[in-house]
Amino acid sequence: MAADPRFFRAGAALTLAEAAAAAGGELVGGDPAQRVTGVGPLHEAGPDAVSFLDNRRYLPQLAGTKAAAVVIAKDFAARVPEDVAAIVTANPYLGFGRVARALFPAPAPRPGIHPTAVVDASATVGEGVEIGPYAVVEAGAEIGAGCVIGPHAVVGAGVVLGEGCRIGAHASLSHCVAGRLVVLHPGARVGQEGFGFAVTPEGRFETMPQLGRVLLGDAVEVGANACIDRGSQGDTVLGAGTRLDNLVQIGHNVRTGRACVLVSQVGVSGSTTLGDGVQMGGQAGTTGHIAIGDRAQIAAQSGVMSDVAAGEVVGGSPAWPLRETLRAFATLRKLAAKPATRG
């Protein structure tokens, strides 16, 4: 299956030799001169397409694939069918992605400001920026060269975007300083007031002034409809390369290191800090004011109530070391299987 031309403009076809080169892999079997024009999953890819295998789960599909070539690790190369070429590489997923990118180059910005966009006279807009219909760029904002601002996006007063950022449709930013190559997907909310209030003696809630910012490192990506509140006095900080999936919540004053990965619907409460390379599975959450160490891994749906050491792997709600949690549930299951009277 080639990508739908309604939505994706194909570049030039590649020979298998070129595809192997793009993948940084070795072509085994197949005709180096054979042309491929698309990519697809094993069960859908046709003789004009390249596929990949990165998960044993799909070995059965490998046996039946009609792909021209499969990007694959050395260990599985022997399992590729007779009439299918193998592109052997240590990192099939990365290699496959590079073949796909070579076949379907990312659309370049179309420099220019749509006539319906409202760009304040005091805003500065860099070289080659594309600003879409009904986008709003407020006073004093700075848009770096090569940025693409989607339809209806709102870049608030004073916001700074580095070079090559992509801001999706309906995304909003305020009180934010972003580095280069930052990506906000549609509907992402960055820089709004955090959830901070004090209780008066009369029992009324009084909003605490939220006087901090959001600092986004280079190449940070923020998923659709995800939310990042600005700091209350200090800043909310996402380290370079950190990626948030859709509907993730980042409370005020949260700080993450570089290259953290927060899967969809994760929630990080205010003033919690994450080290470098922390990974949180979908729907996991943390309480506020705790510290998660470098490269810690938080299983999906975990509820982290206290500090997690560097490299630790935790799960469950409340979260314990994942091994203990799994053992505990196995034990519980065994107990529950016994006659209730023995419970």
Which residues within the stretch 87-146 sit at the binding site for a copy of itself (CB under 8 A)? 91, 93-94, 96-98, 100-101, 104, 106, 114, 116, 118, 132-134, 136, 140
Contacts of a copy of itself in 12-31 (CB under 8 A): none
DSSP assignment, residue 292? E
Least distance in angstroms from the C-beta of 28 to a copy of itself: 21
Tell me the window of 13-21, 78-86, 122-130, 197-205 that interacts with a copy of itself (CB under 8 A): 197-205
What is the smallest separation between the CB atom of 69 and a copy of itself, expressed in angstroms?
Answer: 14
Structure tokens that stand for 119 in this block: 């760009």
DSSP state of 60: H
Query: Closest separation between CB of residue 29 and a copy of itself, Å?
Result: 22
Q: Which tokens is 124 given?
A: 């500065």
Distance CA 47, CA 50 (A): 8
The one-letter code for the residue type at 254 is V
8 Å CB contact between 173 and 183: no
In whole angstroms, the minimum distance from the beta carbon of 297 to a copy of itself comes to 14
First to last CA, the chain: 56
For residue 196 the two structure tokens come to: 């901070």
| 122/143 Cα distance (integer angstroms) | 12
Half-sphere exposure of 174 (CA within 13 A, CB side): 15
Q: Which stretch binds a copy of itself (CB under 8 A): 15-23, 26-34, 80-88, 196-204?
A: 196-204
233: Cβ–Cβ under 8 A, 6 or more apart, which residues?
211, 212
Does residue 252 carry a catalytic annotation?
yes
Q: What's at 96, amino acid-wise?
A: F
Single out the catalytic residue among 170, 185, 252, 289: 252
Q: Counting contacts by CB under 8 A, is residue 205 touching a copy of itself?
A: yes
Considering only residues 211 through 250, tell me which ones interact with a copy of itself, judged by CB under 8 A. 211-213, 219, 221, 223-225, 227, 229, 233-234, 241, 243, 245-247, 249
| Long-range CB contacts for residues 296-302, cutoff 8 Å, separation at least 24 | 297/322, 299/325, 300/263
Q: Judged by CB under 8 A, does residue 75 bind a copy of itself?
A: no
Q: Is 8 in the site for a copy of itself (CB under 8 A)?
A: yes
Angle between helices 16-23 and 92-103 (to 10 degrees): 130
CB of 341 to a copy of itself, least distance (A): 10
Q: How many residues bind a copy of itself (CB under 8 A)?
A: 118
Q: Which stretch binds a copy of itself (CB under 8 A): 11-19, 41-49, 75-83, 123-131?
A: 41-49
Here's the x/- map for a copy of itself, 53-72, by CB under 8 A: it reads as --x-x---------------
What positions carry a catalytic annotation? 252
